[in-house]
């Protein structure tokens, strides 16, 4: 079993030293979702929400979240991100619509961007909720998970 690297010799939390790691191109894609009722779906796709363009605002929130992940996740390293892309795909269900969210983050660095991608996807779903909660507070934010990652010592991962 691999030694847990976020604990120091006294048993307290520490930020891992990545100084000796190789700099490589790294990317990660995460998924999240939010299920909304037909009225919210229509408001989003027709751009009639009084707070503004929901998906555009959510994309910006996701980008900002990725860039600021180290400010909210204690052991994350601040990273110079080289790219962030947020994409959407609607899925119609019985009396509901699910917005599938994909957040892809890339960098060239000594540590991966999985947390940045996961944070971005989560922030997108939360922003959609925030901008449309006046219509329905019963929206459901779905599972959030890593779809893939590339680069680094541990190699590539595909869900």
Contacts of 109 (CB under 8 A, 6+ apart): 23, 24, 26, 79, 80
Q: CA-CA distance, 156 to 29, in Å (whole number)?
A: 12
Active site annotation includes 85? no
For the record, the structure tokens of 113 come out as: 């961007």
- Torsion sign, CA atoms 67, 68, 69, 75: positive
Q: Active site residue: 20, 85, 130, 156, which one?
A: 130
64 is in an annotated binding site: no
31 is in an annotated binding site: no
47 is in an annotated binding site: no
For the record, the structure tokens of 65 come out as: 């979240």
Q: CA-CA distance, 118 to 69, in Å (whole number)?
A: 9
115 is in an annotated binding site: yes
Residue set of the binding site for substrate:
75-77, 115-116
**Binding annotation:** 75-77, 115-116
Catalytic residue list: 130
């Amino acid at each position: 079993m691999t030694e847990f690297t976020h604990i120091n010799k006294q048993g307290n939390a520490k930020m891992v030293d990545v100084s000796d790691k190789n700099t490589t191109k790294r990317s990660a894609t995460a998924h999240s979702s939010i299920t909304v009722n037909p009225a919210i779906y229509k408001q989003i796709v027709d751009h009639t929400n009084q707070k503004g363009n929901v998906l555009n605002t959510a994309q910006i929130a996701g980008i900002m979240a990725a860039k600021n992940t180290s400010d909210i996740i204690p052991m994350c390293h601040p990273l110079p991100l080289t790219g962030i892309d947020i994409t959407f795909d609607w899925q119609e269900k019985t009396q509901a619509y699910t917005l599938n969210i994909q957040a892809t983050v890339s960098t060239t660095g000594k540590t991966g961007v999985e947390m940045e991608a996961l944070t971005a996807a989560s922030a997108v779903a939360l922003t959609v909720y925030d901008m449309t909660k006046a219509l329905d507070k019963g929206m459901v934010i779905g599972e959030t998970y890593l779809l893939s990652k590339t680069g680094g010592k541990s190699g590539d991962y595909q869900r």
